[in-house]
Each structure stands twice: as structure tokens, then as C-alpha cells.
């Protein structure tokens, strides 16, 4: 059965530009006639996902740093950190304003704390296997300075929310992001970064072009999220549902992707796994919930991954 890209685009402008979507990721590199659009299937996830090894420890699964939150937006930081913790990062450190320390210790006692002043110490950042930045960070001088420092250091980052807003105003930083960074914009953030678009088809073409130019992965979030890799190939994530239409979901996703980067997955694989299990957890919760909070979804993630592995024993 043929699957068309227009089936996954929310606007009608794409209907006149029917493009065949290959089902499964095994068709990558199959030749010039292969579609650049790939529909992610559970069999693909089964190939990418690595079960935890019997003889392993917290160091096996990496150390992620979450730079997020401001005095009035601490919730975004906590949600991002929860996505990372429940995503299975061996260690998760969160850099937030000190006023949020009590909340962090209460909600996520598994997470560690890093003072913002320590972010300027380049040597101290080398121990982290993944860095996610942006949720609730704010756009003031301190936040922009942190983003600039990471860009200058050529550290690959998972950039979300306010980090994207900062990059949109600093094209000099955007164009010098470290290769294999991951940008996770929703529609409005994408247009702020790359200019206004009339429809999703045009937006997708810009994403393909910019992913190649930046050498980074772009996660274009929507009902069906598009993951665009460094070669301009588009991976369509089929999981997720309307019950997830509540604030904070993107914060959890950014943290979850960071967890997979910390595990050692490539930027593309981390984005694919993060989007798939983020949506899959939502699908499982939606069986018994009319709507889902971001906090609920984060807690569901390890349950969903375990269930997936049990159903797909190698």
C-alpha cells in the first residue's frame, strides 16, 4: 500500500505535491530512486534500540547536563530533567537558578545540581556526554551568554525553546553550531529561526536544506513529527495523539533526546528514538486518559520502552 507525504502534513497545500513515503528505514541508501521520506516503523526501532547490558552501571549510560529554567519558569526545567531521568540517562545534572534547588530536590532527587556560574568553566563541561539547553531559560543576557559559550566551545547541543529563540536573533551563532547538534522547534519556533512559511511543504523543504547546511538534526514538531538528518532525509514519526496537546511535552522530549545522546546514540538515532517513545508513551496513556500531562508522560516512558522490548525480544 502506497503511503504519501501529504497524509502527514496538516495543510492542504501539500496535496498537489504527492511524494511517496518509503515504509521503514532500511531503504536508506537504496539508490537515487529511493524516496527521501521514510516512515518510522516499530521494526526500525527494534534495530536501533540497544537493550541494557547485564553488567553495566550508571557510567554505562552517560552523563547529561540540562541547562534550563528561570525564576518564574522552573517547571520547564524540571520537566526537561524528568524526560532525561526517566529516559534512562546514567547521571543527570541540572543547571538552574539556585531558587529552584528545593523544587529539584523534591521532584527529582535523582538529579544533581550545577551552579550557573560553573558553566563558564570549559573543563567542567567536558565530562558531560550530552547537553540540552533552552526550556524556560529566558532570553536575557545571561541566557544568551550561555548559548554563545557553548557555540564557541563547539559542543553539540540539544537546543529547544528559549535556546532556539536566542539563536534566531544570533545568526552568527546559529551558523556556527557544532555539527551533530539537534534543534527541536515547533512550527512558530521554526519560522522564527528560518523565516515565515506559507505551508508545511515549504517548511519541510527549508528544514531539509538547513539540516544539511548546519550539519545538524532538526526535529520539526507537530502531530506527526519530522526528523530531518544531516543529509536532508526526512523520518516521519507516526506515534503520538491529541491527548498530548498540553504544555510541557516539548520540554520532556528535549530531555529524553538528551538521555539517548548520553547513552551514546548518534544525533539522528537519539532523535528518532526520543520522538518515537515520547509519542508511544502518549499513545499508551491515551488508552485510559482523555488528556495527558507532561509529568505523566515522563513517568510512562520507561514502562513503554520495557513493554516494547518485551514484545520485540531479539
Q: What pTM was estimated for this model as a whole?
A: 0.94
Instruction: Give the per-residue pLDDT at 106.
Output: 97
In a domain? residue 161? yes
Instruction: Give the per-residue pLDDT at 276.
Output: 98
Instruction: Give the per-residue pLDDT at 17.
Output: 61
Cα 10 to Cα 7, 170, 190, 225: the distances in Å are 8, 30, 16, 11
In a domain? residue 176? yes
Instruction: Give the per-residue pLDDT at 314.
Output: 57
In a domain? residue 20? no
Beta bridge partners of 227: 219, 235
- Which segments in the chain show pLDDT lower than 70? 1-2, 11-18, 20, 26-33, 121-123, 314
Q: Which three cell numbers stand for residue 97?
A: 537558578
Sheet with 22-23, strands from edge to edge, namely: 22-23, 37-39, 234-236, 226-228, 217-220, 182-183, 158-159, 130-133, 63-67, 91-95, 112-113
C-alpha–C-alpha distance, residues 103 and 265, integer Å: 30
Q: Is 309 exposed, middle or buried (0-12, 13-18, 19+ CB in 10 A)?
A: middle
- The string of DSSP letters for the chain reads ---BGGGG-SSGGGGGS--B-EESSTTTTS-TTS-SEEE--HHHHHHH--PPPSS--GGGG-EEEEE---TT-HHHHHHHHHHHHHTT-SEEEEE--GGGHHHHHHH-TTSEE--GGGGG-HHHHTT-SEEEE-TT--SSHHHHHHHHHHHHTT---EE-THHHHHHHH-HHHHTTPPTT-EE---HHHHHHHH---SSHHHHHHHHHHHHHHHTSEEEE-SSS-EEE-TTS-EEE-----GGG-STTHHHHHHHHHHHHHHHT--HHHHHHHHHHHHHHHHHHHHTT-SS--HHHHHHHHHHHHHHHHHHT--
Q: Which three cell numbers stand for residue 54?
A: 547485564
Q: Is 227 exposed, middle or buried (0-12, 13-18, 19+ CB in 10 A)?
A: buried
Average pLDDT taken over every residue of the chain? 92
In a domain? residue 202? yes
In a domain? residue 221? yes
Q: What is the pLDDT of residues 74-99, one digit of tens each?
A: 999 999 999 999 999 999 999 999 99
Q: What total of structural domains would you count in the chain? A: 1
In a domain? residue 290? yes
- Residue 177: give its domain's CATH number: 3.40.1190.20
In a domain? residue 26? no
What b-and-e string marks burial along 88-100, b requiring 16 or more CB atoms within 10 Å of the CB?
bbbbbbbbbbeeb
Instruction: Give the per-residue pLDDT at 120.
Output: 72
In a domain? residue 19? no
Half-sphere exposure of residue 299: CA atoms within 13 angstroms, side-chain side: 8
Domain containing 267: what range? 57-311
Amino acid at each position: 500500500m502506497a503511503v504519501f507525504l501529504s497524509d502527514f502534513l496538516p495543510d492542504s497545500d501539500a496535496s498537489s505535491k504527492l511524494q511517496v513515503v518509503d515504509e521503514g528505514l532500511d531503504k536508506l541508501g537504496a539508490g537515487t530512486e529511493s524516496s527521501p521520506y521514510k516512515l518510522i516503523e516499530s521494526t526500525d526501532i527494534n534495530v536501533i534500540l540497544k537493550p541494557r547490558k547485564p553488567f553495566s552501571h550508571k557510567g554505562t549510560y552517560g552523563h547529561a547536563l540540562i541547562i534550563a529554567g528561570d525564576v518564574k519558569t522552573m517547571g520547564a526545567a524540571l520537566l526537561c530533567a524528568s524526560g532525561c531521568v526517566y529516559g534512562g540517562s546514567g547521571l543527570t545534572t541540572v543547571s538552574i537558578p539556585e531558587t529552584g534547588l528545593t523544587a529539584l530536590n523534591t521532584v527529582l532527587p535523582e538529579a544533581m545540581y550545577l551552579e550557573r556560574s560553573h558553566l563558564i568553566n570549559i573543563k567542567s563541561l567536558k565530562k558531560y556526554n550530552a547537553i540540552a539547553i533552552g526550556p524556560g531559560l529566558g532570553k536575557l543576557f545571561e541566557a544568551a551568554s550561555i548559548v554563545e559559550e557553548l557555540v564557541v566551545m563547539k559542543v553539540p547541543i540539544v537546543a529547544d525553546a528559549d535556546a532556539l529563540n536566542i539563536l534566531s536573533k544570533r545568526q552568527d551563532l546559529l551558523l556556527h553550531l557544532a555539527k551533530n547538534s539537534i534543534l527541536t522547534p515547533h512550527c512558530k519556533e521554526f519560522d522564527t529561526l528560518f523565516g515565515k512559511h506559507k505551508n508545511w511543504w515549504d517548511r519541510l523543504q527549508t528544514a531539509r536544506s538547513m539540516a544539511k547546511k548546519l550539519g545538524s538534526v532538526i526535529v520539526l514538531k507537530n502531530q506527526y513529527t519530522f526528523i530531518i538528518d544531516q543529509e536532508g532525509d526526512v523520518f516521519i514519526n507516526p506515534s503520538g495523539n491529541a491527548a498530548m496537546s498540553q504544555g510541557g511535552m516539548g520540554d520532556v522530549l528535549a530531555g529524553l533526546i538528551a538521555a539517548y545522546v548520553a547513552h551514546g546514540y548518534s544525533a539522528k538515532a537519539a532523535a528518532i528514538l526520543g520522538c518515537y517513545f515520547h509519542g508511544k508513551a502518549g499513545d499508551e496513556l491515551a488508552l485510559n486518559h482523555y488528556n495527558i500531562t507532561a509529568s505523566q508522560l515522563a513517568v510512562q516512558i520507561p514502562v513503554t520502552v520495557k513493554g516494547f522490548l518485551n514484545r520485540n525480544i531479539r
